[in-house]
Amino acid sequence: MTDPRSVSFWLDSLPADHNLSTRQRLSGDISVDVVIVGAGYTGLWTAYYLHQLDPKLRIAIVEAEFAGFGASGRNGGWLSALLPMSFEKMAANHGRDRAIALQRTMYDSVDEVARVTTAEGIDCHLAKGGYLNITRTQPQVRRVHEQIAYYRSWGFGEEDYRWLDADETSARLRMNKALGAGYTPHCAAIHPARLVRGLAETVERGGVTIYEQTRVIELGDHKVRCETGTVSADVVVRATEGFTARLPGHRRTVAPIYSLMIATEPLPTSFFDEVGWAQRETFNDDRRLIIYGQRTADNRIAFGGRGAPYHFASAIKPEFDRHAVVQDSLRTLLGEMFPALGDAKVTHRWGGPIGAPRDWFCSVGFDPAAGQAWAGGYVGDGVTTTNLAGRTLADLILRRETDLVSLPWVNHHSRKWEPEPFRWLGINAMLRLPVGADRYEERTGTTEKWRSKILERFIGH
């Protein structure tokens, strides 16, 4: 069994008295109303809302490792309203109003998570300080202004996303070379492992059974076959996100793309006297290669980014969670952004796969005839989206005609990824394009175009 505390800083920093021992594994055949594959945010939120709506349902969750083993226990801790797909893509088949409605519902979902954690007594260190998209070059400034204009064209106002000048940015977070920032209040910093472990305990109190160390070897209509038994159910929910490629028949459903993180040691009061950061805003800068950071409740910086390679045939291995070149570059970048860090030590390095569908369009759906439901493809924007997925799946499974079941991502089907070696070649080429784009913009001070156009064409934006 994997030692939970070795997986990420978040799991390692759970209270010493937190019980991380493995729950029971499935032993033999059982029958329930709903079986959920995966004990991460998606599976747990789905179980939570199903139980809230119908407490009589018999619900079981089967998990190959332990609750929170995947991205739910490793992510950057951004409870954001970000979606991976564009408004145009959402509106293409569902219209402008439904696309806007999905974004508005995401804004509301940030507050829904806060409501539930308060109601259920889940202390996940939630601080709704918003999100700063900081600009440090002129191309980044132009890009953020274009993003703000784009949001305005879709009906979103200053209260949703606005420009902060250099002084306003520094009043929140003083970053080296900051020229300004795009700011949205629709984001909170959280401790991801506290949330996922708290959700697991909450659904168990409600009567949901979680089977850990129970690996699925076949997903079928109305049943899930595991190494240690079979679960028969009216509804099977696939909630496996970045680990979906491990399921038979799903190697090309989503691609496991690695995102890696580091955490510093707790930083002294003098550091925050210099940089501010009183509201624990989440932050990045608007470079093409995605980065993301937060101030933790114990005054560390948890900082992550892309850049690690995709592995042939959608391979997922523990050794891929660490990549010295990428994680060393993250520490170097932090030092550039915050010179006051000095020689502060990195205490934790970790990472893991996120799920990327071929068209970068996350989805949730249900096929009543087959009894098959699913949610995923969040491309790293899943902390809030999983909550909306859980509520939507509960409504779909219980045949509730609500506003949620008419949103554009419901029953969206992404086409499969290309077979190998084309998948390996295409994804790794795509992962290198932002690196070249950022270097060009830093060197020339002008906006890079051709790499960005190729990247947008690849992901369908």
Read off φ and ψ for residue 290, nearest 5 degrees.
-65, 130
Q: Which residues pair with 310 in a beta bridge?
A: none
Contacts of 29 (CB under 8 A, 6+ apart): 229, 230, 231, 232
The CA-atom distances, in angstroms, between 144 and each of 95, 104, 161, 454 are 25, 20, 10, 20
The pLDDT value given to residue 143: 96
- The model's pLDDT over 381-438, given as tens digits with 9 standing for 90+, comes to 999 999 999 999 999 999 999 999 999 999 999 999 999 999 999 999 999 999 999 9
pLDDT of residue 460: 62
Write the CA distances from 145 to 155, 167, 185, 447, integer angstroms. 16, 17, 17, 13
Strands 180-184, 131-135: parallel, antiparallel or unpaired by DSSP?
A: antiparallel
Phi and psi torsions of 362, nearest 5°: -70, 160
Global pTM reads 0.97
Quickly list H helices, 304-346.
Answer: 324-337
Residue pointed to by tokens 């145009």: 88
Contact 389, 46 (CB under 8 A): yes
Helix or strand or coil: residue 217? Answer: strand
Tell me how far apart the alpha carbons of residues 66 and 62 are, in angstroms, rounded to a whole number: 9
Q: Which residue has the tokens 């960005």?
A: 452
pLDDT in tens, the chain (461 residues): 688 999 999 999 999 989 888 899 999 999 999 999 999 999 999 999 999 999 999 999 999 999 999 999 999 999 999 999 999 999 999 999 999 999 999 999 999 999 999 999 999 999 999 999 999 999 999 999 999 999 999 999 999 999 999 999 999 999 999 999 999 999 999 999 999 999 999 999 999 999 999 999 999 999 999 999 999 999 999 999 999 999 999 999 999 999 999 999 999 999 999 999 999 999 999 999 999 999 999 999 999 999 999 999 999 999 999 999 999 999 999 999 999 999 999 999 999 999 999 999 999 999 999 999 999 999 999 999 999 999 999 999 999 999 999 999 999 999 999 999 999 999 999 999 999 999 999 899 999 888 888 877 776 65
Decide: helix, strand or coil at residue 92.
Answer: helix
